[in-house]
Structure 1
C-alpha cells in the first residue's frame, strides 16, 4: 500500500518536473489557455442597456408623406398636357387642343373628388394642383395671344399675376423648408413645409380664366353662322373685361389675406401624415 502511494506521488512529482522543463512558449500557451469549466476565464456577456431597449420601442417620426396617389397622378398628367396644348394651338390644331383642354378640366374635377372621398389629400397636392392649372392657363393664354385670339393687354395682366404668385411660392417654400436647406430637399415635394389655401375670389377667377381660355380655343371651331347669330364675338369682349377685373382682384387678395399661405410646424407635419395614414388603413 505504501508503495502504491509512493509511486503515485512519484508520478505526480515527475509530471511537475517534466512540466517545469517545457519551453517558455509552451508555458505561455498553457497559462493563457482557457477552459470552459473555469468560471474565471469566461467573459461575461454585456448586459443590454435599458435605455437602448426603451429607445428601440419608440417609433421614429416620419417627415415624408405618400405622394404616389391617384389624384396626384391625374394632376401630374395635367402638367404634362399643358405644353402639348400650347404646341397644338401654335400649329392651329384647335380641335385637338380643345379635346386635350377638356381632358384637363375633367381631371381637375375628378382628382379633387377622389381625394376627398378616399382621404387621399396630401400637402403636395395643394401645391401641384393649382400649379397644373396655372401652367395650363399660362401656356394657353400666351399661345392664344400669339395667335391673336386674346388681346395682348389681357395676357399681360393674367401672366403678370401668375409670375408674382410663382415668385411668392418660391420664397415661402424656401423659408419654410426645415434644415438643412438644400436644393434636393427643396424639390422633394414629399417633404411638406407650407400649405397654400386659395382665396374665394381666386377660385372664382381660376374658373373664369379656364372658361375664357376654353372659349377662345373653341371659337375657331364654331361655325361662322353660329358666331354671328349668337353675337359670340361681342360676348367674348365683355367676358375678357370681366376676367381682367377678377384677375387683379384675386392677386390683391393674396397680398392682404392672412390665411392664404400657412407655414407648417414640425408637429403639424407629423400629425397630418399620421392622420392620412390612419384614414388609408382599412
Structure 2
C-alpha cells in the first residue's frame, strides 16, 4: 500500500480551490473568496515546509506547486480585474511575467532538454507580496479592512516586484540557455 503524500494532497487541494474561488468571485461572495484564498495561501506555505522538513519532495510537487500558485493567482487577479477592483495594468504585468516564465521554461526544455526550475528568493518574495495584496483586497471586499489610503501604493509595489522578478528570471534563464548552447 502506498503512503499518502500530504504535501501533494495540499497542492492538489489548492488546484481544486481555484474553481471555488472563481465561483465565489463571480457571484460576488467576497467573504468566501477571501477565506478560500487565505486557505490556498496557507496550504502553499505548509506544503513546501512539510515536503522539505520530512523529505517528501516529489516530481509531482515540484511541477504542480508552482502551477497551483499561478492558477490561484491568475483566477484571483483576472476576476478581481473583471470586478474592477484591481487595475488592468497590474493584471497584464502579472500575466505577461508568468507567460514569459512558463514559455521560457518550455522553450528551454525543447531546445536543451530537462528543466530544473528553482524559484529564486526574489520570485518567492514576489509570490508572497502578490498573495498578501490579493488577500488584503479580498479582505477589503469582505469589509474586514479599508485599503483606501494604501491601495495604489500596494498595486505599484506588487508591480515593481513583478517587473524585477520577471527580469531576473529572463536573465537567469538566458544565461543557462547560453551555457547550454555552448556545450
Per-residue deviation, residues 115-147 of structure 1 (Å, max 9, x unmatched): 122211123322211111111111100000000
Q: Are the counterparts in 2 of residues 81 and 100 from structure 1 also a CA contact under 8 Å?
A: yes
Q: Are the counterparts in 1 of residues 34 and 135 from structure 2 also a CA contact under 8 Å?
A: yes
Structure 2 CA distance for partners of 1:114 and 1:260, relative to 1, 3 Å: farther
Q: Are the counterparts in 1 of residues 5 and 56 from structure 2 also a CA contact under 8 Å?
A: yes
Q: Are the counterparts in 2 of residues 98 and 218 from structure 1 also a CA contact under 8 Å?
A: yes
The answer to which of 114-123 and 253-262 deviates more is 253-262
Q: Which runs of 5+ in 1 are unaligned?
A: 1-65, 178-192, 263-282
2:43 maps to 1:110: no
Q: Are the counterparts in 1 of residues 104 and 173 from structure 2 also a CA contact under 8 Å?
A: no
Measured in 1, the distance between the counterparts of 2:176 and 2:61 equals 14
2:178 maps to 1:255: no
Counterpart position of 2:140: 219
Q: Are the counterparts in 2 of residues 123 and 195 from structure 1 also a CA contact under 8 Å?
A: no
Counterpart position of 1:77: 13
What number of residue pairs does the alignment pair up? Answer: 176
**1:259 Cα deviation (Å)?**
9.9
Q: Are the counterparts in 2 of residues 70 and 111 from structure 1 also a CA contact under 8 Å?
A: yes
Measured in 1, the distance between the counterparts of 2:74 and 2:109 equals 21
Measured in 2, the distance between the counterparts of 1:212 and 1:67 equals 36
Work out which of the residue numbers 81, 84, 89 in structure 1 matches 2:25: 89
Structure 2 CA distance for partners of 1:242 and 1:125, relative to 1, 3 Å: same
**1:222 Cα deviation (Å)?**
1.7
Q: Are the counterparts in 2 of residues 198 and 260 from structure 1 also a CA contact under 8 Å?
A: no
Pairing 1:5-154 to 2, within 5 Å after superposition: 69-154=5-90
Segments ≥4 residues shifted beyond 3 Å: 172-177, 258-262
**1:69 Cα deviation (Å)?**
2.0
Q: Which runs of 5+ in 2 are unaligned?
A: 178-183
> When the two structures are superposed, what TM-score results if normalisation uses the length of structure 1?
0.57
Measured in 1, the distance between the counterparts of 2:115 and 2:45 equals 23
Question: RCO (CA 8 Å, sep 6+): is it higher in 1 or 2?
Answer: 2
Measured in 2, the distance between the counterparts of 1:139 and 1:261 equals 31
Measured in 2, the distance between the counterparts of 1:173 and 1:105 equals 29
Measured in 2, the distance between the counterparts of 1:251 and 1:260 equals 14
Measured in 2, the distance between the counterparts of 1:200 and 1:69 equals 26
Measured in 1, the distance between the counterparts of 2:6 and 2:158 equals 32
Counterpart position of 2:158: 243
